[in-house]
Chain A
Amino acid sequence: TQLLEQSPQFLSIQEGENLTVYCNSSSVFSSLQWYRQEPGEGPVLLVTVVTGGEVKKLKRLTFQFGDARKDSSLHITAAQPGDTGLYLCAGGEEYGNKLVFGAGTILRVKS
């Protein structure tokens, strides 16, 4: 089974700061998704990246898929309290049949 290492585990920052969350693996993934989950709810899909080197922007969030499709990053510009939550990356196994999830990054943005 392929593994995804996500870092950092916890992040507590002030409103207006920038941050980056990383998702790394030694394996190649066919696609990579980022989700945000709030307490008591299911994860909500933010973005899917498929092509190596692909960059996608969603308002203040920028997602990048590594050239070799082994890693990804999520960058948030000018974080706001509404960005608070658990961020999860998930990779589609290249020769498998399921998504592999990272352990998650708990983000807290203080006002």
Chain B
Amino acid sequence: KAGVTQTPRYLIKTRGQQVTLSCSPISGHRSVSWYQQTPGQGLQFLFEYFSETQRNKGNFPGRFSGRQFSNSRSEMNVSTLELGDSALYLCASSLKPPTSGSYEQYFGPGTRLTVT
């Protein structure tokens, strides 16, 4: 079974631009979560989608948004990029929603975003 795939793997953008990142979950998984990872802040939760609905959102500004499609694929968008948005953006999929006791997430390789 194929794992979580993320595209692109690497991206360089200029401050003020916007970016869209894509995530394809493991086949059959309906929950997709997004995280931002930086050396200073570690892994920070962005948002989680289940069956096309955003069920939870982290403490990020409105410039960060996402969506999930009927085939469970997800995209996240960052508008008006800032230098501080440079990070590894990770997508994770799971079979069950986070409220289940045996909740497990499987991560993709991430998209390395550099903002100059």
Contact = CB atoms under 8 A, between A and B. Distances in A.
B4 interface: yes
Interface of A: 30-31, 33, 35, 40-45, 48, 50, 88, 90, 92-93, 96-104
A5 to B, nearest CB: 12
Interface stretch (B11-19, B66-74, B79-87, B108-116): B108-116
Contacts of B108: 42
Contacts of A43: 43, 90, 107
Contacts of B102: 31, 48, 50
B98 A42 contact: no
Interface size classification for chain B:
20 to 34
Nearest to A93: B98
Given A30-B103, A45-B104, A48-B104, A96 B43 contact: no
The 3 nearest A-B residue pairs measured at CB:
A42-B107, A97-B56, A101-B43
B98 A98 contact: yes
Contact of A50 (B90, B101, B105, B106): B101
Nearest to B94: A99
A96 B103 CA distance: 12
Nearest to A42: B107
Contact of B105 (A30, A99, A104): A99
Given A45-B104, A48-B104, A98-B48, A92 B4 contact: no
Contact of B110 (A42, A92, A103): A42
Given A33-B104, A98-B56, 17 more contacts: A30-B101, A41-B109, A41-B110, A42-B108, A43-B90, A45-B105, A45-B106, A48-B102, A48-B104, A92-B98, A97-B55, A97-B97, A98-B58, A98-B98, A99-B98, A100-B45, A101-B35
